Each structure stands twice: as C-alpha cells, then as structure tokens.
Chains A and B, each alone.
Chain A
Amino acid sequence: MSSNARRKALAWKRVVADRAATLAAWLAALLVITPLIAIFAYLVIRGASAVNWAFLTHAPKPVGEAGGGIGNAILGSALILAISSLLGVPLGIGAGVYLAEYGHGRLATLVRFTADVLNGVPSIVMGIAVYALVVLRQKHFSALAGGVALGIMMIPTIARATEEMLLMVPRAIREAALGLGVAEWRTVVSVSLRTALPGVITGVMLAFARVAGETAPLLFTAFGNQFWNLNLNQPTAALPLQIYTYAISPYDEWHQQAWAGALVLIALVVGTVCLVRLIAGRGVMKGTA
C-alpha cells in the first residue's frame, strides 16, 4: 500500500518535471523572439516616417538645417562593398576550391586552421591592422582601405562555404568528366564548381550581408565623410558609420536620421539573407540526392 503510494508520487514528480522543462524551453524560445520583434518594430516605427526619396538621395545637412539624407553614405557603402567583393570573392572561392579539390596534406590543415583564425579576428582589430597596412602607407584614409578590411573579412566565410559545397558534389560526376578526357582544371571549373554554384553563391551572399553592416573595421580605414565622394583614395562615408555618428550625437533630428538609416541598412541585410534562403531552399544541389 505505502510502496504503491510512493510509486505514484514518484510518477507524479517525473511528470511535473517533464512539464516544467517543456514550459521552460518554451519560455526561452519566446524570450529570444521578443527582442527580435522589438528591434524590428522600433526600426519601422521610428525610422519609416523619415525614409523618402530625398533622404535616400541627398547628402547630410549641417545640424539645425532641416532635410539632408544618406545618399552619399549609400554610395560610399556601395563603393567599399564593391572593392571588398572584388578582393574577397575570388580569393575566398579560390581558397575553398583548393581545400576541397587539392587539400589533403599538411598545408591544407594549416590553411583550414588559419581561415578559422581569420574568422575569429575581432572586427576592431581588423580595423587597426588594415590601418597599419594601408592607411599608414598611403598617409590618408580611403575607400580602398575600407574595402580591403571588409574584403579580408569575407575570405574565410566564402572559403569554408565553397569547400563544404564542393565536397557535396558526387565523385561520379567528376570521374565521368575526367573519364571523357576533360582536363583537370576544366573539370573543377565547369563540372564541380558549376554543380555547387548555388551553394557557393549562398556563401558569398552571407559573407556580403555580414560585412555590409560592419562598422568597427571602417572607423580608421574609410573614416566617413559628410560629402559626396567618388574618389577611391579619399575618406568615404558608409551607411553603418553614418548611423553610428548620428546615434551618438546629441541632436534629436540626427537620432531620427539614425533610425531611418538603420531601417535602410536592415532592409539591405535582411533582404540578402531572405534571398539566400530562397536560393538555398530551391534544391541547392541539382544532381545530388
């Protein structure tokens, strides 16, 4: 009788523990989603009213004057990101192809480890390193230096994504091409890389989305600029830098501009991420099961 009651109590305890754990996990999930919703809601509420054509196409006005926008910052970001993609995409894909197709020896292990190291370099440290490498040599801040800093940061992400995708390409396809007498480099480019292309593009876009919002590496490389600039050798504005400047300023109208700029930046970043999901979701690898 008493042992039966004890058994019942134990069973009850186990059920309660199970329910409590489920509830706790559910609460954690809910709590994680809250800040995300809050951030997006605030961006839209505070930012949307200030985003219009003039805001997107004009350069900043001095404090106290109405109007002004982030046109020069958008252009500057485009310049810097173009430079960084020119540098980071070929190097990243090249390194990825090397790791997947030729990377078996000790050198490959070293490269893989170094790519991980590079991935872990704090972005602000990348900023001072590129300052020392480029800005000190040139003697002035420039879009070029900003592009180099972001480009280097793209390499490890793209390299690892390319490697993973190439490793998923079935051996049989490769062997078929080689069996038909296709040269090895041609097999890599037209067969392996071609098959893995959607995955590689996904990696490139993720790397792009990641560096597009980076501020810290640009502080002492691109530096920022209140005016229009197309010269790659001059200090250049960038969207994240502009948001930072506005956010820590003491003026209300600049705060408003910071929110609006942030809305534009997040639209760019989230748009890229969603596009990635679309590409990745649509049968990433044709020909692989």
Chain B
Amino acid sequence: MTVCALSVLAVVALILYELVRQSQLSLHSFGWKFFTAQVWDPVAGQFGALPFMYGTLISSLLALVISVPLALGLAVYITEMCNIRLRGLLAFTTDLLAAIPSVIYGLWAIFVLVPLLRRYVEPWLAMTLGWTGLFSGPPYGIGMLAAGVILSVMVLPIISSITREVLVAVPRHQREAALALGATRWEMIRMGVLRNARAGIVGAVILGLGRALGETMAVTMVIGNRPEIAKSLLAPGYTMASVIANEFSEATGDLYLSALVEIGLALLLLTLVVNALARLLVWSVTRGVPVSSHVQ
C-alpha cells in the first residue's frame, strides 16, 4: 500500500522532471522574454508565448462571465428551491454534462454552435455593441467568443456541483433563524446562506477557472488557431493548450519542441496555483462537515 502511495509522488515528480528537462533548451535561449514576446514564427525561429497566454486567459475569463451566474442560479435552485424529486433529476443532469467528453463538445460546437453564432449572434452583437471595440470585425463564427461559450458549458457543472456542496454545508439554523425573523425565501438565501458560503463559492469559481485553463480539445476545434492578440472577441485566437495539441506532433527542430514543452510547463504551474487557491477556499467552508454530505 505504501508503495502505491509513493508511486503517486513518484509520478508527479517524474512529470515535473521530464517537463523541466525537455524545456531546458527554450528556457536557456529565451529566458523570461519567452513570456513577453508576441511573435510566434517557428520558421524564423521566433518563439513568443504571449498570444497563447492571452488567449488562454481571455477565453477562460469569458467562460466564467457566462457560466458563473448560471451555475450559481442552478445551485441555489437545486439546494434551496425545488422539490426532492426534481433535485435528484437536476443533479443527475449536471453530472451528465460533466461526463460528456471534450471532443464531443467540440464536435457539437463546430457544427451547431459556430453556425448559430455566425448567422445570428455575432452580427447582432456587432450591431448593438460594436462601438465598444469588443465585437468588431467580420463574424467568422469561429473565434474567441465561440471558445468562451463552449468552455462555459463545460465548466458549469463543476462550479455548480461544488457550490451545491458548499451551500449544503451551511448550517440549517442559519436558514431557520432568518425565516423566523420574517425574511422571505430570497432574503433567507441572500443573508443566511450565500453570505456564509461566500469563500466556498469563490473557491468553486476558481476551480472552474482551473478546469477552463487546461481545457484542450473543444477549444482547439473552435478558437480559430491564430497566434495574434486581437481586442475583438469575434477574432480568432489561440490558447496554450491548443498550440501544443496542434503543433507538437509536427514540430521540427529541438528548439520548437522545447518551446512547446515550456508552454506546457507554464500551463501546468498556472493550473497548480489556481487549483491550490481554490481548494483552500472550499476547505475553509466545508471543513468540519462529514464526508457523507459531500457525496450526493
């Protein structure tokens, strides 16, 4: 048993070791400039990771903007408002959403979501909000917006199920006290439940961010894969995960390969920090609640 437990440590150590070793070449050639340079031109030997970091960050934030209100609404509805039978059904549905493979989300996004965005949503956005500069340019369908929307569907189940866990952990008497003082149901939820669960909800959102940052296939299939930084959300972009997915097996030359591994290493460290932060926040709320109430 101890051997099995130690193997977990060994595997993580090996992964880190290999990533650091394979990215040495790029680390030494570019140093910190790797993360501030904007040009990615493998043919000319220029490798700058900024466009990918920008794409990863913006697509993930966009996903959070869309999914957080929905996930919170769903979690509140499931834990505080609906009857028991509907509760089970809704919880099962969100579990199913979490179980759909990434590549199937991508497939659906290419053939259903993207045409929908191109034909209806993007022209409308360009017309009404074009002046902000966020929605200018031709409506390709494929681009940062499509990636953000499909990501939002993918991170929603995670955020909502952990929020549910956190809400359930809020002691019953908080709710009863609020109701006894004559609060309406919404006032009870707002003051008695949500306020107590704040830290945990933030943790759930950050955990969703961690998932969005590392998501590969669905994003690769709809983001457009162009290493440029554009202000418009309708323009194509590129993320750290998708540049690895697209170019790793075709990378010629040691430096090219090494640069891609370094992007992978940076992505790993980024998700590590984000996940650790999220765990701390979730623990601060659910700590002291028996394990059985987490598994529902």
Of the candidate stretches A10-18, A57-65, A68-76, A225-233, the one touching chain B is: A10-18
Question: Given A91-B7, A124-B244, A124-B245, A114 and B1 touching (CB < 8 A)?
Answer: no
The residue that B77 contacts in the complex, of A29, A99, A121, A273, with Cβ under 8 A, is A29
For chains A and B in complex, what number of residue pairs have CB atoms within 8 angstroms?
Answer: 252
Question: Given A28-B74, A29-B77, A216-B217, A18 and B101 touching (CB < 8 A)?
Answer: no
- Does A152 touch B at the CB level, under 8 Å? yes
Contact B153 A125 (CB under 8 A): no
Helix, strand, loop or mixed for chain A's interface? helix
- Does B30 touch A at the CB level, under 8 Å? no
Rounded to whole angstroms, the CA-CA distance of A28 and B9 in the bound complex is 41
- Does B111 touch A at the CB level, under 8 Å? yes
10 additional A-B residue pairs with CB within 8 Å, beyond A18-B184, A125-B19: A32-B71, A32-B74, A36-B97, A42-B111, A46-B111, A152-B11, A168-B291, A213-B101, A214-B102, A269-B101
Closest 3 CB pairs of A and B: A213-B101, A28-B73, A94-B4
The residue that A123 contacts in the complex, of B6, B93, B156, B216, with Cβ under 8 A, is B216
Show 25 A/B contacts (Cβ-Cβ < 8 Å), sorted by A: A17-B186, A28-B73, A29-B77, A32-B156, A42-B111, A90-B4, A91-B4, A94-B1, A94-B3, A99-B5, A111-B5, A120-B210, A122-B213, A123-B102, A124-B245, A128-B248, A129-B14, A155-B7, A155-B8, A156-B8, A243-B104, A244-B217, A262-B107, A269-B99, A269-B101
Rounded to whole angstroms, the CA-CA distance of A33 and B110 in the bound complex is 20
List of A residues within 8 angstroms of B103 by Cβ: 213, 215, 240, 243-244, 247, 262, 265
**Chain A residue with the shortest CB-CB distance to B218:** A215
Contact A42 B272 (CB under 8 A): no
List of A residues within 8 angstroms of B189 by Cβ: 21
Question: Given A95-B8, A121-B268, A128 and B101 touching (CB < 8 A)?
Answer: no
Number of chain A residues close to chain B: CB under 8 A: 89
Rounded to whole angstroms, the CA-CA distance of A237 and B210 in the bound complex is 29
List of A residues within 8 angstroms of B112 by Cβ: 38, 42
The residue that B186 contacts in the complex, of A18, A32, A213, A266, with Cβ under 8 A, is A18
Nearest CB of A to B112, in Å = 6
The residue that A220 contacts in the complex, of B4, B82, B249, B279, with Cβ under 8 A, is B249
**Chain B residue with the shortest CB-CB distance to A141:** B249
Question: Given A123-B214, A259-B107, A132 and B21 touching (CB < 8 A)?
Answer: yes
